[in-house]
Chain A
């Protein structure tokens, strides 16, 4: 009789097999099977199956509990072994862990920065549908700007159904704000229409977002402003006095604007104020002061809308444009692109640039790469010592996959230790980094849990990649060859290691060259003669109307102060923006108007600033006609118009199209030497200077270089008497001028620190490598010494190998760095040349650092007593 055999439930069997992680695993399943068959015989197959399942499920909790417990014990054991090995090879571990930690810290920092950059303006709920109108104005040359025609916003809403809301805005500006006895200079006071709250997401704490800015002379303030001015009181309905001229009533309080917003205001006043005062209107086209933001319909296509804009514009301003010979092109810029993809003149705020995001991410990856290379290099170099271990393990039955697992596990432990250290480093260096980049990044894992995930991910990826080469390499040793001593370890992988070292140093050297060139460019920009003397000039911007009217007497009073050399007034100040207009030089046809910068000054401004008149004369109060009929031009203008002797040449002013009037002329009375009105990034434009008392907003005061503190005290006191209702607000011209190069300064600082770190990590690796080489060659050196080799000769022998690597690295780094930096320099109109000396300096620097690192080991081994080295065997 053949009994039919029943099979126990497979799934339950599989579960048992994988949960009962005892040594007795096979016996347990055997027991289950045996009893199963017993039950089959007694009670039948289906009952037996049920029995099997029931017992399996009932046993599971305790199996799982034990299995977790044991794997924890195993893991602890494993950690213990890894830590023991870390302790045993202290130097090696230190190099590895600290190198990786620095690399990781740099990477995390940059990651935080990049994510912050990318997060700009995304907090607005409708961010995808918001865009801003930008304009290319062409009158002779072009002006590429987000400032646009005043009437554009309302007209777009009227003409296109897909444009839901529009708001015009005036960028956050400085205003003196007064409430009762509290008087502060506020830096971020802007203007907007009420639709701003429909478009952007600015949560209201109190007040009604529907009507807050509907009326003129209303203002919405942020929570911190409410606290600053009103403390515990309810701010709604309170009156703030602006510049001692206008009263605004508070109609709303919003939460503070997040720092990752391309514009930030503390107070937002009603745009209706302008309309009420007749300073702006909804059908005023040729007025370019305001920024226009739009909220589009969900289904709107930005590109399509953009295509309709030329016709739209033609309808309203076509004729006027034709008459003036200029052209205007409107574009729409999505909100999310503003921060990283803006290259406009007169933008609301200094935006960032996507290039820097790529650049810094690249550098960070390089630093991490260098650290990873170290790890790989040192691990393979150490294979000399570990080959024996591997051979032994293999002979005793370890399979290759186990060994790979072990090495990978070890490198993961290293990388996690590094991560912990990196987080500590990060915590310590964050303030420094923040001051370098001018941001307020914080390590807040609760707010940004993904950051923690990213960091953990990085630790795993780095551990895996850095560990994989050594793991596969080491585990491939054939035990017989290794144990017999046939495998000459180190030789087979030395080429790979060399390539890695070269790569490391090439990156470091390129970074050094980059830093030096950026530094040189900054020095160049700061030290170039600007055509005027920016030192020791105090500028008091934005005089109010009353002061402006009595400027003459005030000038006299200021001159009387001790330490004041000269005082001049102008409408704009070098480095703080420029005005562009189109002018018609005499002799040019009417449709060839020339774009020129222009500014207004008084008679004292040019000598006070140290600007030089080359031909003709400065404005003078002795000539009554100077105010209306005379201008100065700069050399660039004269050259552009082909005026060899510009004095006496004239500009033509036609009456506005469609209006009656006579053509008037102004004559050039003097030629002024070219000076840099803007930063050295920009070319010097043709410039025309008018003498106009009505438009002078800023006083520039030249001080005697000694005892400036004292003079400033006197000045502050005097100004307080003259303008008691505003805080004394001033800046030094040289600071303002230099602050234009803040981006470059940041770039320099960051590349400086990065190249330092890259070099440091690279040297750690080199040091480790050198010590292993030295160790391996102990006997060789001993024999050489016995045979009469000198210490310097030995050092040279040991160092030579590494020096060659660094030289090769130089040869690779030079062209790359030259190409990259040359491109960078192209963005400056006035730039320093790339001096070959910089390459030599960085080469010498890299070489000497490498030499220093290597020679410590080399000298140590060369000085050691040969007896010690040869005594073994």
Chain B
């Protein structure tokens, strides 16, 4: 999957770059489920930073990005506070989603709107006061189709899209229409979309991205890794050079599995154990 193929026109990416690169997010600690303070003083997330959130199921990963999305002011279950550029967000920014610099793509991103794809995008484009509506609809669908193997079209109904198509469209929408400088992606790997393309695209657009993930490749490929347990942040890791080396290897294993999955999906009979061993062996 050559990454060069995925940039669907330099103009689109340029238009998705935010003129406002200034948004700096500061997370102030809350407490874990037993009421003890979290293991950090403050986490500052600057423009273009990438972070991953890891930890067992139920450890509070989704609650962490939810706090960022709602710009919590000690009014959620965790007690965290979120600052924008060092200060509590204005009511305007916190309350009007079209002014919020953050887009959250949740695990259960479903669309309930009884509209087709182009009408839905058109309404969102208008809500965001963007122009060139037709071109933007076309390029958003094109970008979504770079993220998913099952192509979607403008006349499909939103409710009829598969989970992967919906997630791909919402990510493309956040990049091109919402143009939010900060993206929060909750278990993006589970949607059956091309995660490498998503990563490459958000990096190309210089987005700040926070991944909640169980995927080793995603977790290793970010600048910082936040480890969660019992509802709280217990560690903020900054990977060293050793981990950098691992990324290439994990990427190879990942593409082997990806190819295998594609062959199985296409209905191929996979060779005997030995031939698979050979293929895996080639990775070692």
A and B found bound together? no
